[in-house]
Amino acid sequence: MAKLKLAMACSARMRIGFPIWYGYGDRLQKMISEAADVGFDYIEVSLDYPWPFRGAYRLEDVIRDAFDHGLSIAFHAPWRDIRLASPISEVRKTSVKAFEEFMAKVSRYSCDYVVVHLSSDQAVDRIPQIREEYIASAVKSVKEILSLESLSSLKIVFENVREDLDTFKRIVSEAGSEVCLDVSHAICLAARSSKKNKLDEEVKRWIRELGSLIRVMHFSGLRFMGNWVRDHVIIPKYDRYLKLVKEELRNLNVENFLLEVFEDPDKGEVHPPQLREVVEFLKKS
- What percent of the chain is predicted at pLDDT more than 90? 82
Nearest residue to 61 via CA among 5, 126, 3, 109: 109
Q: pTM for the complete prediction?
A: 0.93
- What percent of the chain is predicted at pLDDT more than 70? 95
Whether residue 96 contacts residue 138, with contact meaning beta carbons closer than 8 Å, is answered with no
Model pLDDT for residues 59-81, shown as the tens digit of each residue: 999 999 999 999 999 999 999 99
Sequential DSSP letters for 224-267: EETTEEEEEEPPPTT-HHHHHHHHHHTTS---EEEE---EETTT
Model pLDDT for residues 138-182, shown as the tens digit of each residue: 999 999 999 998 898 999 999 999 999 999 999 999 999 999 999
Fold of 2-283: TIM Barrel (3.20.20)
Nearest residue to 221 via CA among 270, 181, 164: 270
